[in-house]
Amino acid sequence: MSRATREGGRSMILVFDMQDSSQLPSIADPFFQEMGAEVTFEPVMNLDDLQRGLAALK
């Protein structure tokens, strides 16, 4: 999804299944290096991940 921001720039929401946090640099770097983009990450999880995380609290 791509849309314009109030400042006149463009934004994009990209959803992907990251198996390990070590994948983050290889995913993000092309946006910085090739497009000069400002990148913000918002981690999310599916129901199975949430249940495993909550079970670890017990």
Decide: 31 and 39 in contact? Cβ < 8 Å: yes
Statement: residue 1 has pLDDT above 60: no
Please name the amino acid found at residue 46.
N
pTM of the model: 0.53
Short-list 1, 19, 10, CA closest to 39: 10
The Cα–Cα gap between 40 and 13 comes to 10
> For 3-39, what is each residue's pLDDT tens digit?
666 677 778 888 888 888 898 889 889 988 998 888 8
DSSP state of 4: E
Decide: 16 and 24 in contact? Cβ < 8 Å: no
Would you state the pLDDT for residue 54?
Answer: 93
